[in-house]
Structure 1
Amino acid sequence: MSLLHFGRSHPAAQIAPPPSRPCVWRVGLCGGVLGAAPPTAMLSAMFPAATFRDVESAWPERGAQGFDLLIVGLNGADPSEVERAAARVAASAGRVEILVVLSGADIETTRRMIHQGAVDVLPAPVTDTTLTIALERIFCRLDTGRAQRRNGELVSILKAGGGVGATALATQAAVMLAGNPALNGVCLADLDLQMGMAGLYLDVADTVTLTQVLAAGGAVEDVPLASSLPAHNSGARVLVAPHEFMPVETLNPALVDSLVAALRRDFEISLVDLPTVWTAWTNRLLRQSQRIVLVTRLSVPHVHLVRRQLHMLEAQHLGDIPLTLVCNQMEADGVSGISLKAAEQAIGRAFDLVIPEDHRLMHQAINQGVALSALRRGSKIEAAIARLVDLVAASHVAPAALSIGR
């Protein structure tokens, strides 16, 4: 943590300037955070691939998207200011990095800012040396992030409440994806920290879990997931949820960034099964996704929950990420008490996919940890999930190759 830099006296000149980078990072210095005479010239010389610009306001409510990094000040002795800063940092996750310069630095406020998604927290007044070290680390991370976004794809599975069968869909989709030789590595990451069952559904529950990955030591992104995670007999690797209940706050945006980096490095497609709750880290993960799959059932409560989830996605500025809306466990007409058309009208958009109910077949597959096709080939539910797989893999596999192995 950057509080460890406090009190260092090494002159900035001793720090080797970073290598030149092909892309320019845009840095905003907000509200005189670095003093009346900010070291802009020194920073520009140390980081030629970055531009530094003074911003009059303490926090630009508009125009923040014009920066890659904002350096903001925070008075840790003012509880109301801390509350506002925590909300702003969380809302900025995935859009712009926030470096907080904290007056009256304390461990609790520092941890809270990091948990909400701040890329770093430095105690005020910040020295040139401390700032230079922090910026070098941040720019390296931004460079890595841009490179990783060109690699593996992240697909987030979002639930419209509990009991919608999203995990069962995710496990079967992962098995189908892994069976396609045109894809180079498939992972199912179960991040439902308290209720995750993906490992049990695929009969790989007694192996490496998320808890062990987080406790392995070092950066999570350095863990070789492709070789350390257990593989289902289909070839899909599975990051199993913790065996014991873990607080949802165990994960944070920084850990999610590291985990996403490792997943994208090692797998061409990663399906991520999320909890039903919204947190700073789930928000961060959704922002880094190439597709969101929102799963619901055909019932009045679940239709209302879909609307709330869609509104939340819009409120968090996530509406530009491709969304696939799935109606799962579609029963015979009249059984659910609500028609598909009425549900779509209430939601305000059509379903992209409808998965028929086949309770017996799905539960047999779950109990045995196998693919649906291993029990019965050509079922309607298998064909419907295959269409979901086609959507997920469309950018990676030629259309003719998608049906291989089915």
Structure 2
Amino acid sequence: MDVDKAHKTIVLVSTDSDFLKETRTAFAASEAIELTVVQKNIGDLHGEIIQAEPGAVIVDLDAARVAELDALQRLMRRIEGRVPVLVVSGTFDAAAARILVQLKVADFLIKPVTTADLVRSCIRALKGPGRDEQSEARIHSFVPAAGGVGNTTLALQTAFQLHAAAEEGASTCVVDLNLQQGACAEYLDLEPRFDITEVENQPERLDRQLLEVMLSQHQSGLYVLAAPARPTEMRTFDTDVVVRMLDLVSAYFDNVVIDMPRTWFPWTETVLLGSNKIYIVTELTVPCLRNTQRLIQACHQSAGKEVDPGVIVNRFESRRFDGGVSQADIEALLDGHFVGGIANNYKLVREAVDRGLPLHEIDPNANVVADLRRIVLPGQTGRRDDAGRSSLLAYGRRLFRRTG
């Protein structure tokens, strides 16, 4: 039932007097929602949530304190998923994000929280899962198993495919997270405009207006967020900067395709946790396939089984050569993670890269176009994560959402 058709109670658990005052003001004018305040630390609750029978719960806690996260876990066990829980905190890090993903909280907001963002999150929670999925970005991340496997090419061509197949008015953005040596802008003959040094010390400065300045647009309508290449640099960037950037992109685009670097950074796990689909791009050599196995294990060890990458074998030859690797060998080696191969069509791919065009504009019937479409377009993969991970898809953007 819609929230405007039924009276709903939201319980707010907080000891922050300023936040309590702001939240009371935010809901004071609502006839559909009644706010009940429990002015206690989450660790001091004794059945107040269950007794109130709320439609949703807002928990204000310190995500850096293990005791408060443990108390949140106990609360989530008691309510057994019957009531959506929104978490508000003044701190954020990758470890806390991982715990909140595992607990399946409905949303996670960072103070200072704007009243508009808080009310929108509460309304989404009251509507229940699946009611607002069309407004969530679909996030596809591409991870290379080695250099030269075609990760950037497949990420860009996937973005073109998604953009061409989307409903009228839908938007698509490619995010090049190779922040020192990215090539997405070069492949499309665009000027990379994302100056990360301008916001790395003040990630809150990155807002919608600044994002628009830093985006590049391809003639197809595809947007690209890419930093100028700095091949002599080797450094990392704070997780807050990357999360803030992905927050904004996923808030304003329907499809987001991320070109990941080979190096595993402190923010890599957070990006993978927030992705709807993860593809490891590899090629048909034994060393590359072995490294692909290691990447799958790394994903599971650092981010848990919720992160279930699919493997794309680029320049795939189905015919077995003497001493080569067969498709049966690949499927056995990758233990269910193989999602398909992309035909070896070097001439077409080189032309597309040199001209900065989608493959399907040059040859819509090409084998490589058909192979990629079978893998990446919704409803055509047949993998279990198409349906089974819809809740993670909805959380993907929430994980990236930061208020500024």
Q: TM-score, normalised by structure 2?
A: 0.64
Per the alignment, residue 101 of structure 1 pairs with: none
CA drift of 1:383 comes to 1.5
CA–CA distance in structure 1, aligned partners of residues 184 and 154 of structure 2: 10
How far apart, in 2, do the equivalents of 1:286 and 1:382 lie? 26
> CA offset at residue 168 of structure 1?
0.5
What residue identity is the alignment partner of 2:311? L
Q: Aligned-residue CA RMSD in angstroms?
A: 4.7
Aligned residue among 143, 162, 174 for 2:159: 174
Q: Which residue of 1 aligns with 2:274?
A: 288
- Paired position in structure 1 for 2:138: 153
CA distance in 1, matches of 2:193, 2:326: 43
Contact residue 31 and residue 59 of structure 1 kept, 8 A? no
Paired residues of 1:154 and 1:269 also in contact (CA < 8 A)? yes
Name the counterpart of 1:236.
Answer: 222
Percent of aligned positions that are identical: 20
DSSP 3-state at the match of 1:155: strand
Relative distance call for 1:62 and 1:228 in structure 2 (3 A) is closer
Alpha-carbon displacement from aligned partner over 1:333-372 (angstroms, at most 9, x marks no partner): 3278222211221221252121011122212211221222
Checking the alignment, whether the CA contact within 8 Å between 1:25 and 1:49 is kept in structure 2 is no
Tell whether 2:189 aligns with 1:203: yes
Cα deviation per residue 1:211-244 (whole Å; 9 max; x = unaligned)? 3774798532434646752211211111123321
Aligned to 2:58: 50
How far, CA to CA, are the matches of 1:251 and 1:190 in structure 2? 16
1:326 aligns with one of 284, 288, 312: 312
Structure 1 segment 88-107 matched on structure 2, within 5 A: 88-89=95-96, 92=99, 94-95=101-102
Alignment correspondent of 1:347: 334
CA distance in 2, matches of 1:153, 1:358: 28
Q: Does the 8 A contact of 2:42 with 2:71 survive in 1?
A: no
Unaligned runs of 5+ in 2: 1-15, 28-32, 49-55, 77-84, 125-131, 387-404
Q: Residue 383 in 1 paired to residue 358 in 2? A: no
* Inter-partner Cα distance in structure 2 for 1:261 and 1:342: 40
The structural deviation recorded for 1:166 is: 1.1
Counterpart-to-counterpart distance in 2, 1:289 and 1:27? 36
Query: Which of 244, 253, 256 is the equivalent residue of 1:258?
Result: 244
Q: What is the match of residue 367 of structure 1? A: 354
Q: Distance in 2 between matches of 1:26 and 1:275?
A: 45
- Of residues 102, 113, 131, the one that matches 1:137 is 113
CA distance in 1, matches of 2:268, 2:177: 9
- Partner letter of residue 286 of structure 2? V
Aligned to 1:303: 289
Matched residues in 1 for 2:179 and 2:37: separation? 35
Over 3 Å counting, the alpha-carbon distance change for 1:336 and 1:28 in structure 2 is farther
Is residue 2:148 matched to residue 1:163?
Answer: yes
Q: For the Cα contact (< 8 Å) 1:199–1:240, is it kept in 2?
A: yes
Distance, in Å, in 2 between the alignment partners of 1:17 and 1:293 is: 41
Select between 374-383 and 193-202 the one with higher mean Cα deviation.
374-383
> Residues 112-157 of structure 1: CA distance to partner in whole angstroms, max 9, x if unpaired?
xxxxxx988xxxxxxxxxxxxx5x5399877777869742221111
Distance of aligned partners of 1:384 and 1:94 in 2 relative to their CA distance in 1, 3 Å threshold:
same
Tell which deviates more after alignment, 265-274 or 219-228.
219-228
Q: d(CA) in 1 for partners of 2:86 and 2:116?
A: 13
Q: 1:186 aligns with which of 161, 165, 172?
A: 172
Shift of 1:268: 0.8
The question of whether the paired residues in 2 share the 8 Å contact of 1:175 and 1:235 is answered with: no
2:160 is aligned with what amino acid? V
Deviation at 1:194, TM superposition (A): 2.5
Identify which range, 147-156 or 188-197, moves more after superposition: 147-156
**C-alpha displacement of 1:255:** 2.3
Q: Distance in 2 between matches of 1:27 and 1:247?
A: 48
Question: Is the alpha carbon distance of 1:13 and 1:341 closer, same or farther for their aligned partners in structure 2, counting shifts above 3 Å?
Answer: closer
TM-score by length of 1: 0.64
Q: Which amino acid aligns with 1:202?
A: L
Please say if 1:269 is aligned against 2:245: no
Q: How does 1:71-110 map to 2 (within 5 A)?
A: 88-89=95-96, 92=99, 94-95=101-102
CA distance in 1, matches of 2:369, 2:249: 26
What are structure 1's unaligned runs of at least 5 residues?
1-9, 33-39, 41-47, 74-84, 98-117, 121-133, 396-406
Amino acid at match of 1:165: G
User: SS of 2:338's equivalent?
Assistant: coil
AA in 1 matched with 2:158: A
| Greater CA drift, 171-180 or 137-146 | 137-146
Task: Find the aligned partners of 2:37 and 2:270 in 1 and give their Cα distance.
Answer: 20
